[in-house]
Amino acid sequence: MADFGADVELETFREEARAWLDANFPAALKGKAAQMAGQEGPVSDPDLATWRKAIGEKGWATPTWPKEYGGGGLSPQQARVLAQEMAKAGAFNPLMFGMGITMIGPTILDYGTEEQKQKHIPPIVRGEVRWCVGYSEPGAGSDLASLQMKCEDAGDHWKINGQKIWTSGAQWSDWCGALVRTDFSAKKHEGISFMLVDMHQPGIETRPIKLIAGASPFCETFFTDATAPKDALLGQLNVGWTVGKRLLQHERASQTGAPGGGGGRVTPLHELAKRYCEVDAAGRIADTDLRTRVIKNEMDARTHGLTLARAAAEAKGASGATNAASVLKNSATNVAQTRAELTLEIMGAQGLGWDGEAFRKEEIEAVRGWLGGKAMSIYGGSAEIQNNIISKRILGLPDSTGSA
């Protein structure tokens, strides 16, 4: 029997959400989620600043986070209604592109002390601080457990020395969640701790890395006698590998879902193809091979979305990654990279422009997005490493890599 009381309550909330969005979401930002996400560094847009402040104070940038830390305190059903109304309004969550919301915040909620939650979560919820994640090192990429950045107990504080690489947004960040080695005598997966490090200190230097797509979101980050207070340790000493894996679970969940409330949804491929390619008398893409591949990509995207929903349902009450969650990283990569390839093919020569008046903005963004999207196969764990994890830990296939 349907719970009509609950249905009425949700519809009442829907009206509340719709009214609040009408009053607070700047019309000038409608449908601009992807554009804002693609900006390099902090965006100096007055409408965006107004929207960031409004949704941060409301707590709806983190709708299901606890109210006591500034979150929305909504139920999953209410959060889904909010996302639906944001999509209808062309709105988006302006904080969903940052690591504070997608990775560090959820991990602090999982492992932090009450003092750490009170200190760090409210500024994250309000979008007042930027976070980066210090994981990879020049000698520890896919084999992250080989990391060597040293963290010593200096009495009343921690002293940190070493280097991280591919640190996304480090040059703009206020804080860094870093995996460090606190016991060099332990096995490589042990002796690792997770530290919350203030980036505003002379012992930390960032050097942006220029990428082929023209942006520089990644950095080399150097720590030279950098310090952190004793309460900067997240989780237990020398058990940071567990904390680090949990953060990666949160990262992959954020990478494999749609941005914000859906306002950043891109034009369906079949519609894009009809703008650039010949159509037949029935209004279909005339090239049957292209039509087949476009529809297959859209079907893969729909399948990925359903798997994402299943993983979210399975994750309720689970402390680790589920089998469904483990395949999402590679699934999202395949869908996104295939779409980018098809987009350039559909646009033809117009999809190869770098700048100039001969190309529309969406055409220039397409080629840059195609180049930038190549990194999806690598960041957050390479596709090959993820395939090995799936084969060994989920399918139970024999280990042919010789790894531990």
Active site residues: 251
Closest CA to 36 of 96, 107, 111: 96
Residue 190 CA, chain-centre distance (Å), reads 27
Q: How many CB atoms lie within 10 A of CB 289?
A: 8
Q: How many CB atoms lie within 10 A of CB 209?
A: 13
For 329, the token pair is 């990283």
371 half-sphere exposure, CB direction, 13 A CA radius: 15
For 297, the token pair is 């990509």
167 within 8 A of 228, measured Cβ to Cβ:
no
Residue 230 CA, chain-centre distance (Å), reads 29
Distance CA 261, CA 53 (A): 17
Which uninterrupted H or E stretch holds 237? none
Backbone angles phi, psi at 198, to 5 degrees: -75, 120
196 within 8 A of 228, measured Cβ to Cβ:
yes
164 within 8 A of 136, measured Cβ to Cβ:
yes
